[in-house]
Amino acid sequence: MHKAADRIRNVALVGHRGAGKTSLHEALLYETGVINRLGSVVDGSTVSDADEDEKGRQMSISAALASFEWQDRKVNLIDTPGDPSFVADALGALRVCESAIFVVNAVMGAEVQTIRLWQRAAELDLARLIFVNMLDRERADFFRTLEALKGAFGSHVVATAIPVGSEHEVSGVIDLVDMKAYRYEGSARDCSEGAIPQELEAQAQEYREKLMDEVAENSDALMERYLEGEEISHEEIVTALKDGTNHGGIYPVTCGVATRNLGTNRLLDAIVEDLPSPVKHGGPKVGEIKLEAVDDNDMYAYVFKTRADPFAGRINLFRVYQGVLKQDSQVLNTRTHGKERVGTLLTFEGQKTGHATEFGPGDIGAVAKLKETRAGDWLSSRDEAVEMPQIKLPPPVMAFAIEPKSKGDEDKVFTALRRLQEEDPTIDLHRDPQTGEQIVAGLSQIHVEVIVGRLKSRFGAEVNLKPPRVPYQETIRKPAKAHGRHKKQTGGRGQFGDAHIAIEPLAPGEGFEFVDQIKGGVIPSGFIPAVEKGVVEAMQEGVLAGYPVKDVRVRLYDGSYHTVDSSEMAFKVAGSLAMKQALQEASPVLLEPIVLVTVTVPEDAVGDVIGDLNSRRGRPLGMEPAGAGMTEVKAEVPMAQMLSYAPDLRSITGGRGEFTMEFLRYEEVPGHLAGKVVEEARAEREAVKA
């Protein structure tokens, strides 16, 4: 049997890197008895950072699901990565949960990634609760952090608990709803409940009033009685708090120390008491269908994460929105319209994988070995096309050319990369049509390094990375004429082709135009396409630096032929010779791609960022506020100057800036730089020949 939907809580742990999400995840699993020892991120012994690369880097890279019971409720808890490079997993988790717990470091307060994820959670209308962690650190200050959170997220941020003691002397928490102190001494589960210490009574009262103001504001019935000084029961406060939290009327703030398991039992109570079930929160509307968390309706489940496992194949994590998903059943994939057989259903309890016979509405689970299903797909009991609104993922900006270490491994590498791309949609994979290089792009240097590490550890594919080549082009600045003649006599039939062409520049972006101006059949019409072919071939490698030539009109106006020796081949060679000669005389110039760069940075870094873009030959186009103390700067910059921008921006903004790039157009390379590019291209060609 499955758990009833109103007894389920789906919760994502999100926040900035290093706020302690994984340690909190571990503490909650320990507190609920799923695991019997408290692992640590530093020792690499936590449940959710199970991959070798996560242990090595001491950071989460993939979202990890764990399910457990607390107060007869089933809690599906998803630990998400805080590093912006792996934001796809955090956004995927937010999409399938009703609630998010924002884990905040009590020393640092509201950091950049926390603010970005908060905006995403607001777009998805999630209930949000904040856990201020690391209260035992030097310079940790709960009340300063609380003020910073109010500044970042508004006045509805309100404490439901405050700490007893500060920094290394923190010993417990005061619950402001039931006005009791909870002390933690010795072992992690040793929690005693008692009266509020006398010296903290006034402070507790002050913060209790702030909480009551917020709670009463969310209920007209309570507001009147509260203003008249009537006693409001514990039950009424809990109900009003839950109603307010459900759709963002209140953001409760609680606190503790995850690594010491201090305050985590109170957080578990808050998950049950303050956060909504799928029934209370209400289901999403996808297309024309409003999904409801009921058993006896068509089954709809959304796949939010695919894990590429070299042994188990694909493992898909899904959320059931309506109906019941049963093992050994057949379902439809609404994207492929194909049937999928659901074999074994999986549950995750710490490092143990369990089996389930079914998952009911509102629940989250996993299934292995589906043929064609991957993240972003819907599984349903009927073939009704439903669309989850697209989640806006940041575009990849850190690109590398990738080549297998051993020749002949191309297919193996490409297949493995495709599998990793199913798992992480922010990986971009393409072949550059101009340079022929296989390009892999990610959100940061660390992201690409992780991709390369996983290629090796999971699929045994080793690769080399190098910066991608800039796709330069060439064009001409003035008209020119040329004559190409190909004549060869070698016993028997010879070769003869003769063509006169005139070339002239076209406007940028117009490409290539071939005009046939042959009069009186001086070249038979059957050979004219061959001349064009030769011209096009010569344009693949320009005369300056061997880059493709663009924006040229070619007129074929004269020539001659031989009745026996002329052939298509001969005219193709003649066309190619004529074009190479004409290009030499038409003032050839080098063109470079210009990109539009949009940089989002904190206001205090705007000057430095614009100065840096200027030094990259950038032209700033303007700036506008982007909310939460951030400014968006737009500039046109040559692509060649942007290949190493990601790490530079990180150091200028202390990791708080991000950027996107899109191609705009080609422009002429300034003279003094063109010579350098030409020299490098020639040296590279010589090296290849050698």
Predicted pLDDT of residue 189? 65
Say if 516 falls within a structural domain: yes
141 in helix, strand or coil?
coil
Task: Please answer whether residues 552 and 504 qualify as being in contact, where contact means their C-beta atoms are separated by less than 8 angstroms.
Answer: yes
Cα angle: 250, vertex 251, 252; to 5 degrees? 105
Same domain, 595 and 582: no
Say if 480 falls within a structural domain: yes
Report the CATH number at residue 26.
3.40.50.300
Same domain, 129 and 57: yes
Say if 680 falls within a structural domain: no
What is the mean pLDDT, run by run of 10 residues, along the chain of 690 residues?
88 88 87 78 66 68 85 91 81 90 88 84 91 90 91 88 85 89 75 87 90 81 76 81 86 90 90 90 83 89 83 84 91 89 85 85 91 87 77 78 83 85 84 79 83 85 84 92 88 85 93 92 92 94 90 95 89 95 94 89 91 94 79 91 84 82 86 87 75
Predicted pLDDT of residue 102? 94
Same domain, 422 and 522: no
Strands 329-333 and 99-105 turn out to be unpaired
Distance separating the N- and C-terminal Cα atoms of the chain? 71
Q: What single DSSP character describes residue 137? A: S
Task: Please answer whether residues 133 and 161 qualify as being in contact, where contact means their C-beta atoms are separated by less than 8 angstroms.
Answer: no
Same domain, 294 and 404: no
Predicted pLDDT of residue 310? 64
Q: Please state, as a whole number, how many other Cβ atoms lie within 10 Å of the Cβ of residue 581.
A: 18
Say if 410 falls within a structural domain: yes
Task: Please answer whether residues 636 and 642 qualify as being in contact, where contact means their C-beta atoms are separated by less than 8 angstroms.
Answer: no
* Measured distance CA(300)–CA(470) in Å, rounded: 46
Q: What is the CA radius of gyration of the chain?
A: 32
* Measured distance CA(249)–CA(660) in Å, rounded: 33
* Measured distance CA(345)–CA(359) in Å, rounded: 8
Same domain, 417 and 293: no
Predicted pLDDT of residue 427? 87
Cα 144 to chain centroid, rounded: 31
Among residues 462, 387, 396, 398, which one has the least CA distance to residue 426? 396
436 in helix, strand or coil?
coil
Same domain, 35 and 115: yes
Q: Would you list the DSSP string of 290-309?
A: E----SSS--EEEEEEEEEE
Predicted pLDDT of residue 311? 67
Question: Crossing angle, helix 234-246 and helix 264-274, to 10 degrees?
Answer: 80
Predicted pLDDT of residue 30? 85
Say if 393 falls within a structural domain: no
Say if 244 falls within a structural domain: yes
Is the Cα torsion angle 176, 180, 186, 190 positive or negative in sign?
A: negative
Q: Would you list the DSSP string of 47-110?
A: SS--SHHHHHHTS--S-EEEEEEETTEEEEEEE---SGGGHHHHHHHHHH-SEEEEEEETTTBS
Full domain range(s) for residue 266: 6-281
Say if 690 falls within a structural domain: no
Same domain, 542 and 438: no
263: Cβ–Cβ under 8 A, 6 or more apart, which residues?
161, 172, 173, 182, 184, 254, 255, 256, 257
627 in helix, strand or coil?
strand
Is the Cα torsion angle 79, 84, 89, 90 positive or negative in sign?
A: positive
Same domain, 309 and 220: no
Split into its structural domains, the chain has a count of 5
Same domain, 167 and 30: yes
CA dihedral 581, 584, 587, 589 (to 10 degrees): 120
Same domain, 251 and 290: no
Task: Please answer whether residues 325 and 425 qualify as being in contact, where contact means their C-beta atoms are separated by less than 8 angstroms.
Answer: no
C-alpha separations of 538 from 498, 531, 533, 535, 683 in Å: 16, 11, 9, 5, 20
Say if 678 falls within a structural domain: no
* End position of a domain, from candidates 225, 255, 281: 281
* Measured distance CA(289)–CA(600) in Å, rounded: 37
Q: What single DSSP character describes residue 260? A: G
Predicted pLDDT of residue 502? 96
* Measured distance CA(68)–CA(350) in Å, rounded: 9
Same domain, 266 and 363: no
Is the Cα torsion angle 573, 577, 578, 580 positive or negative in sign?
A: positive
Same domain, 302 and 224: no
Report the CATH number at residue 305.
2.40.30.10
* End position of a domain, from candidates 560, 586, 612: 586
* End position of a domain, from candidates 260, 281, 302: 281
Predicted pLDDT of residue 50? 58
